[in-house]
Amino acid sequence: MVRSWYELPEYVRLRRVNGLRLSPDGTRLVAPVSGLAPDSTSFRSALWEIDVLPESEGGGAPRRLTRSAKGEGTVGFLPDGSVLFTTGRPDPESKEEGTGAALWLLPADGGEARQVASRPGGIGSFTVARNSGLVALTSKTLPGSQDEEADKQARKAREEAGVTAILHETLPVRSWDSDVGPDHPRHFVADPPADDDARLGELRDLTPDAGTALLNAGAALSPDGGLLLTEWRVPVGRGAHRSDIVAIDTATGERRTLASDPDHDFGGPLVSPDGRHVLLVRGSEGEYDGEPRDQTAWLIDLATGQGRDLLPEHELWPRELAWAADSGAVFMVADENGRRPVFRIDLDSGEVTRITGDHGAYSNINPSPDGRYVYALRDAWDSPPAPVRLAADATDGQPTRLRTPGSELSMPGTLTEIETTVDDGTRVRAWLVLPEEASAESPAPLMLWVHGGPYMSFNGWSWRWNPWLLAARGYAVLLPDPALSTGYGQDMLRRAWGKWGPRTFADVMAITDAAEAREDIDAERTAMMGGSFGGYMANWIAGHTDRFRAIVSHASLWGLDAFSGTTDYPPVWEHEFGTPVERPERYTLNSPHLRASDIRTPMLVIHGDKDYRVPISEGLRLWRDLMLHEVDAKFLYFPDENHWILTPGNARIWYETVFAFLDHHVHGKEWSRPELL
């Protein structure tokens, strides 16, 4: 067991389990697991096999299946148990260098992996028909390209002419950290390999007219492969889109709309094992003068086209859905009270049962074909993601741990919960990470963290924001779920819908008061930090109180007027805030930059240049305003990072700079600039 993992050189070396897939016969689990590359400048993913039995029942140790310089990505199975995966590794049987990820196959009984499909624009996501083995995949294709050769020649012509320009006719222009276009995804289907040496059959383009309709689209095949169900973006004016679900006949390419509603988006289609129903997530972005955003599990009968809400009496937000093998139930992951349990929904009775009763946060759920179990990844604030087995018929059951290819860690402290009642009578709760030495005789300085989103919950492990690295250095870390957090019903969103700053600030200050009232917390030595929405709150807090000794603001919103038009997809934002010209009221109420002159707290501003969700202009404008008002501040700038800090070296520098800043302002130590800066 690793015990010094919270030292930064060791921390970046930890193996991280990033997914989980169960084979069709229920006998094998395969997971992509990332680790430090040999040159230590990046993380690299490989596929590992995990035994479905726990060690107490004879389960063996995990074993590594793949090794390549490029690493492996998305993973799935053919009906015979062969593993499909995407990778950018070179094909030893081809003279051509690939320009993106290709699809590879690893035989069920082992042996060498081989490439089975490639495209000039690479291969993105894929899905497999559980009975027939038909494979559907996405590949980016340049406009007007009617076949693979035309796409290849169009790319060559752009490269030889030195053209990198992209002509846009709709939003989005960028997404998270990537440019959109000039090529866009299309759906292709192909028959499975005919023998042990064959590639997939001919790739057939089902969506030559898709344009931008399939950007980030989820898709699924019917068990027999006859239908492809996919999200389809539909323009609704002013640059906005909604998401419908269409059904495409894989033999003819004929397309029909299956789910469409002007007030809702549909996503994540999953066809039942018996082929009769489609499971979806139906969501709303909310209304300026009405209800906040919402989402639910939605079921459509493929024969009649009729749909119904599977959660009519519940306010749970489905984060992930999966079909039971008998098609009679659905398993769902949803935030609840600072946890992320697994629920079972019986389709006949509508009964919703929580099958996990611990404080875990579950993901990557895989119901077994015999109906007995659900395999999943479980994490929590005191446990990194690891594979577990759950009893499918349990009520508030406990997980059975499987042997993990990830890192088993001992925490340098303890995890507890606190709560308080705020001024409007609402209960607000939080996780509190305490260092081992915290006591009434030796109270710990407090670090308040506010989560991003804002429509999420602080309920599970984070590699990016890990409180134990601070706990190992003597800090207590408060992880609250204030207004706008999910898992507490829609009223928690209504309280701050369009009122991000004032309402969330009141909640955060109240739960901080509750933490500071503890004997093992030093209320005189407190600091605050947050990223994204948490960074927005860092900026808001800086302009509304001087109770903190230091504030760290990462990837933060500062001037909402400018942010509203430069974020990667403004229409989502405008559902809640409108535009600053047409509806300026909420910008005046909520924009932190309007209180720049009131900031007295030392601030560390952190931003990545490739962040398109919260553009670098926000960090630059914040930094300039702090300089104008002579605030004691520093700006940690990453020219090649995005909304997150993803490379090992930069992640270490991020933490080192935060630690040095806190040491200086919370502990009064002399400022010590990180060596590599």
Determine the average pLDDT of the residues in 372-387.
Answer: 98
Q: For the chain, which residues make up each domain, given as ranges?
A: 120-158+172-309, 413-666
- Helix ranges (H only) for 555-667 are 560-566, 570-577, 585-590, 616-628, 648-666
Partners of 22 in the beta sheet? 29
pLDDT given at position 3 = 52
CB 253, CB 206: distance < 8 Å:
yes
pLDDT for residue 96 is more than 60: yes
Determine the average pLDDT of the residues in 371-398.
Answer: 98
pLDDT given at position 140 = 98
CB 268, CB 280: distance < 8 Å:
yes
Burial of 256 (0-12, 13-18, 19+ CB in 10 A): exposed
DSSP labels, 217-274: --EEE-TTSSEEEEEEEEEEETTEEEEEEEEEETTT--EEEEE-BTTBEEEEEEE-TT
| DSSP H/E element including 282 | strand 277-284
pLDDT digits (tens, 9 = 90+) for 546-585: 999 999 999 999 999 999 999 999 999 999 999 999 999 9
pLDDT given at position 205 = 98
pLDDT digits (tens, 9 = 90+) for 395-443: 999 999 999 999 889 999 999 999 999 999 999 999 999 999 999 999 9
User: Residue 110: pLDDT band by 50, 70, 90 thresholds?
Assistant: confident
pLDDT for residue 1 is more than 50: no
- Nearest Cα to 231, choosing from 220, 223, 222? 220
- On the question of a common fold for 120-158+172-309 and 413-666, the answer reads no
DSSP labels, 122-176: ----EEE-TTT--EEEEEEE-TT--SHHHHHHHHHHHHHHT------SSS-SEET
pLDDT for residue 97 is more than 90: no
CA distance linking residue 616 with residue 638, whole number of Å: 10
Average pLDDT over the chain reads: 97
CA distance linking residue 643 with residue 196, whole number of Å: 43
Partners of 137 in the beta sheet? 126, 188
Q: What percentage of residues in the chain have a pLDDT greater than 90?
A: 97
CB atoms inside a 10 Å sphere around CB 109:
8
Strands 72-77 and 63-64: unpaired
Q: Token pair for residue 496?
A: 């701050």
pLDDT digits (tens, 9 = 90+) for 431-478: 999 999 999 999 999 999 999 999 999 999 999 999 999 999 999 999
Task: Please enumerate, as own/partner, the contacts of 332-338 that have beta carbons within 8 Å and a separation of 24 or more.
Answer: 332/297, 333/362, 333/363, 333/365, 334/487, 335/456, 335/457, 335/459, 335/485, 335/486, 335/487, 336/487, 337/429, 337/487, 337/488, 338/417, 338/429, 338/430, 338/431, 338/457, 338/458, 338/459, 338/481, 338/487
CA distance linking residue 153 with residue 492, whole number of Å: 54
User: Residue 94: pLDDT band by 50, 70, 90 thresholds?
Assistant: confident
Assigned CATH for 120-158+172-309: 2.130.10.10
Does 454 sit behind a cis peptide bond, omega within 30 degrees of 0 on the bond before it? yes
Helix 500-516, helix 533-544: angle, nearest 10: 80
- Nearest Cα to 636, choosing from 448, 625, 622? 622
Determine the average pLDDT of the residues in 358-373.
Answer: 98
pLDDT for residue 518 is more than 50: yes
CB 408, CB 379: distance < 8 Å:
no
CA distance linking residue 668 with residue 175, whole number of Å: 41
pLDDT given at position 132 = 98
* Phi, psi values for residue 555, rounded to 5°: 45, 55
pLDDT digits (tens, 9 = 90+) for 580-598: 999 999 999 999 999 999 9
CB 124, CB 136: distance < 8 Å:
no
pLDDT given at position 2 = 46
Q: What percentage of residues in the chain have a pLDDT greater than 70?
A: 99
* CA 361 and chain centroid, separation: 13
For residue 355, which amino acid is it?
I
Place of tokens 């139906």: 282
pLDDT given at position 404 = 97
Q: Token pair for residue 504?
A: 């969330």
For residue 428, which amino acid is it?
V
Domain 413-666 has CATH 3.20.20.410: no
pLDDT given at position 98 = 62
The pTM is what?
0.97
| DSSP H/E element including 11 | helix 8-11
CA distance linking residue 401 with residue 629, whole number of Å: 54
- Nearest Cα to 219, choosing from 102, 149, 153, 134? 134
Place of tokens 């605030």: 631
CB 11, CB 467: distance < 8 Å:
no
CA distances for 517 relative to 145, 430, 513, 514, angstroms? 66, 14, 6, 5
CA distance linking residue 320 with residue 336, whole number of Å: 14
Which of the 8 DSSP states describes residue 598?
A: G
